[in-house]
A and B are shown apart, each in its own frame.
Chain A
Amino acid sequence: MTTAIEARGLHYRASPEFAIEDLSLSVPAGALYGFLGPNGCGKTTTIRLLLGLLRADAGTIRLLEQPVPGGLPVALARTGVMPDRPHLHRYLTVAETLGFHRAFYPGWDARWAAELLGEFRLIRGQKVASLSKGESAKLTLLLALCQTPDLLVLDEPMDGLDPVVRRDVLAALLDYVSRRGATVFVSSHLVHELERFCDWVGVMDRGRLVVELPMAEFRNGIKRIRVVTADSAALADPPFTLLARERDGGAAETWVVRGWRPEMGRWLTGASVEVREVTDLDLEDGFVELLRAFRTGSGT
């Protein structure tokens, strides 16, 4: 399996209080990779490191098999980016922005750009400075898509957008991915936003990558289990990760586990634990439990 983005052992000190520490991630080519994490956890800093906007203190990065920063121009020629905040030249009109941008991308799809302008209801003569937040996001996405990239890096693309614009942006994105088979790396702090279309997920917190796994595994592997155990200390070396454990009174306990499979019930029976109920956690609850476990140091 080839990788679109590969980072190994990244370290970056952003301030005395915050650092990216030993971050390694691997985005398979063709994946729709959701990069999840609470606000301020380091998602944007990580994206800036991956795109060469910041220089890592240590570690290696490969973007579309090109080393960063050495091979950046080659990699960026095949990468469409939607940064977290507006970055376009404000004094240009929409048409002038398109004209400037296309000069740098030989693969620019002018026909599709014209179509998207119509679909996004963007006015050619309107100044970038006067675009609303939604229009600005649509223009940025249009620029990223029409350069026909193999990789799209989107930093909180839906943040602050109204539902109509969200739908337009998502539709254009999915349309492109289905036609081109491009890799998408999209960050968000909203779990449900990524749940619908991502097939891989990486969860970040406090400058570290907590977990990276296929979305299906993330979705199905985190359960809430109600158990009755005679000896609460008896659970040694379980075949799953115990993310949280609460006493419900008496011998009853509620566990949140990751990596659960039905056959593990037998292992619990052997450990004198009776499973009363297994409940699927929705992605958001799973995400919250995962972060809670990471912060208390009880899960990995």
Chain B
Amino acid sequence: MLTAMIRIQWKGCRHLVTALAVAAFGLPIASVAAGWHASATSLPRFLSELELWGLLYPGLAAVAALALGTAIWASDRRGHHVYALLLPVARWRYVLLRFAAGLVLLVPVILALWAGAVAATAAIDLPPGLRIFPHALTVKFGLALLLLFSACFAAAAASGRTLGIAVRLLGLFLAVHVAVILLRPGVNLVWMLVSALASWPGPFAPLGGRWMLIDV
């Protein structure tokens, strides 16, 4: 069943996966080339250039996760999930099959980023004092992609009712946030939530920190 699911998901998303893999391969190469070209003479400027480009890695992970997470459910959604619901498997099992097959589609993107990072760092003569981190960057990217994909997949799989509940909860949170700001201007609930989610041990911690392919 999983093989069959992977096969049809690949068929449905192969153009998207190819485009994302090309982008993932090109990003480290483009970042190193741009940094080298702009500021080869100044090490701090080279590093700050690379740090700026580093923002694109979580950006790429977010785009890939959103695109794949929604594309995977697009066909089921178009058919109002009738085909899926008539298959002789429990709903949770079908969702798990879709998710597992989706994870397989992330692999080419992650591998492409790793290959791009290795190629980019192999093509330059590093100035003394700098080190390369292609594997660490790939692992960080992989984790970020996995987390964001899981979130997007879950949101795309949710029914309209569940999404409605989520939106209402979000609206309630924002209303409380506004009320708290009016009563105690120093307290920012949104910032506290984002910080809690994006810093260790929050679930989106891998998205934070520096995304450096080359660093001291």
Residue positions of A touching B, CB distance < 8 A: 51-53, 72-74, 76-77, 81, 83, 86-92, 96, 99-100, 103-105
Contacts and interface: CB of A to CB of B under 8 A. Distances in A.
Interface in B1-30: 1, 3-5, 7-8, 11-12
Interface pairs A-B: 8 shortest CB-CB: A77-B88, A103-B4, A87-B79, A87-B82, A76-B88, A87-B83, A89-B75, A100-B4
Given A73-B90, A89-B12, A92-B11, A104 B1 contact: yes
B78 A90 contact: yes
Interface string B89-102: 11000000000000
Please classify the interface of chain B as helix (H, G, I), strand (E, B), loop, or mixed, using the class held by over half of its residues.
helix
A87 B78 CA distance: 8
Contacts of A81: 86
A49 to B, nearest CB: 13
B95 to A, nearest CB: 14
A131 to B, nearest CB: 14
B85 interface: yes
A99 B4 contact: yes
B80 interface: yes
Contacts of B5: 100, 103
A104 B75 contact: no
Contacts of A76: 86-88
A51 B86 contact: yes
Given A92-B11, A104-B88, A105-B88, 17 more contacts: A53-B85, A53-B86, A73-B89, A74-B88, A76-B87, A81-B86, A83-B86, A87-B80, A88-B83, A89-B75, A89-B79, A90-B78, A91-B12, A99-B4, A100-B7, A103-B3, A104-B1
Nearest to B74: A91
Contacts of B82: 53, 83, 87
Contact of A86 (B7, B11, B79): B79
Contacts of B7: 96, 99-100
A52 B85 CA distance: 8
Given A89-B12, A91-B11, A104 B79 contact: no
A96 B11 contact: yes
A4 to B, nearest CB: 16
Given A86-B79, A88-B79, A103 B1 contact: yes
Nearest to A97: B8
Contacts of B8: 89, 92, 96, 100
B75 A90 contact: yes
Contacts of B11: 91-92, 96
Contacts of A103: 1, 3-5
